[in-house]
Homo-oligomer: A and B are copies of this chain.
Amino acid sequence: MGTTQLESVPEPKYWHLKTVIGEALDSDFAVGEILPNERDLAARFGVARATLRQALEQLELEGRLQRRRGVGTTVAPPRMGVDVSTTQHSWPGSAQDAWQSVDCATAVPPAAVARLLETGAEEETHILRRLRVSHGQQVAAELLYVPASTVPELSAIDAPSGPARSRAVLRELQRLDLDGQDRAVELGSARADDAKELDRLPGSPVLLVTTRYVSEGRTAAVSVATYRADTCRLTFGDSGDVEISHDQERRAS
């Protein structure tokens, strides 16, 4: 007696919590507003703090919350659309491509990159560090790998260090014919240095955009860009004529 359908599907608490809080965000909070702290929230919902955190983590993953140590949890603005379309068919550094060079070094690339470059694993490669700012926010950090053999004109001596050297490498790239590029997007977690640039904790989820630049039948350069997954929506506008503001709004009342 009494076994009549008591929760035939025991939904995890954190899942239910996430739903409840998510709905509350839609109806009771405005963007930027700060939530009660985790201990209060946990007490209010009658769960352990760890459980409450599991729910908050999911909401943060979905870009609905923003948490900062020492500060608090705030309602995140809707994700910004960041254009990563390849229709431009141009080298990095050409025109104004939204990226800002900050550094340049010369070293042997990691194995995974060397594989993409189809060079010997030991080939010296220019490694440019670039940052992308969009809507006043740091949204991505990039490592651009340009094998020395791609830009033979660039000797080690005539190039200064740092950003100036970056510009020299990019300038050399423009002289080549770009046959095409292909791109891949996957989920990753932020390396320590990227996390620092993006003002996130190491390990936070990021969107990894890998681009292969092809010139004269070979891979002339490879870019690995790390985008903040919480604040960015990558857009691949392909409609040419049709151009629409991608800033969709999430209401607050």
Residues of A within 8 A of B (CB): 15, 18, 58, 61-63, 79, 81, 86-87, 89, 112, 115-116, 179-189, 202-203, 205, 207, 212, 214, 217, 229-230, 232-242, 244, 246, 248
Contacts and interface: CB of A to CB of B under 8 A. Distances in A.
Contacts of A81: 184
A189 B236 contact: no
Contact of A241 (B18, B180, B212, B244): B180
Contacts of A187: 61-63, 187, 205, 207, 229-230
A246 to B, nearest CB: 7
A61, A63, A230 interface centre (most CB from chain B within 10 Å): A61
14 contacts: A61-B187, A61-B189, A179-B239, A180-B241, A181-B238, A181-B239, A182-B235, A182-B238, A183-B236, A184-B235, A185-B185, A186-B229, A187-B229, A212-B244
A126 B239 CA distance: 23
Q: How many copies does the complex hold?
A: 2
B205 A242 contact: no
A87 to B, nearest CB: 8
B246 A184 contact: yes
Given A15-B203, A248-B115, A186 B239 contact: no
Given A185-B207, A207-B185, A217 B233 contact: no
Contacts of A58: 189, 203
Contacts of A242: 179-180, 182, 214, 217
Contacts of A61: 187-189, 205
A36 B180 CA distance: 45
B237 A182 contact: yes
A116, A214, A234, A241 interface centre (most CB from chain B within 10 Å): A234
Nearest to A248: B115
A238 B210 CA distance: 13
A26 to B, nearest CB: 10
A18 B237 CA distance: 37
